[in-house]
Amino acid sequence: MGCQSEWDDAAAFAQLKVEDFSRWRMINSGFHPQGTAAMGRVVDKDLQLIGSERIAVCDASVLPASPGVNPMVGIMALSLRLADRIIAAEN
């Protein structure tokens, strides 16, 4: 059996055997989608959408490149910075 990742029906899926899942045959991947709204290209340094006064973006999409590690702490820091900026603007 080849390395199949999708099945058309439950009957085809039910034909899988334990030996189909050896660590030598498994292909795994994981990623954090990022860079689609990168700082300097889509948002500015304050996470404001370029050309907008009322839209801010704060998630992995604002990272201009992969940091090479899990981006969770960096995203948390950016969100706290954005929250402080929003609070300051309201006062």
**Residue 70 pLDDT greater than 90, yes or no:** no
Neighbouring residues of 37: CB distance < 8 A, sequence distance ≥ 6: 43, 49, 57, 61, 62
Q: How many domains does the chain have?
A: 1
In a domain, 23, yes or no: no
| pTM of this structure | 0.60
pLDDT recorded at residue 45 = 92
**Residue 13 pLDDT greater than 50, yes or no:** yes
In a domain, 52, yes or no: yes
Better-predicted residue by pLDDT, 28 or 44: 44
In a domain, 11, yes or no: no
Range of the domain at 61: 32-90
So which residues are the catalytic ones? Answer: 32
**Using 50, 70 and 90 to split pLDDT, how confident is the model at 62?**
very high
**Residue 1 pLDDT greater than 50, yes or no:** no
CA 47 from chain centre, in angstroms, equals 17
Better-predicted residue by pLDDT, 55 or 27: 55
Question: Using CA atoms, how far apart are residues 21 and 60, in angstroms rounded to an integer?
Answer: 32
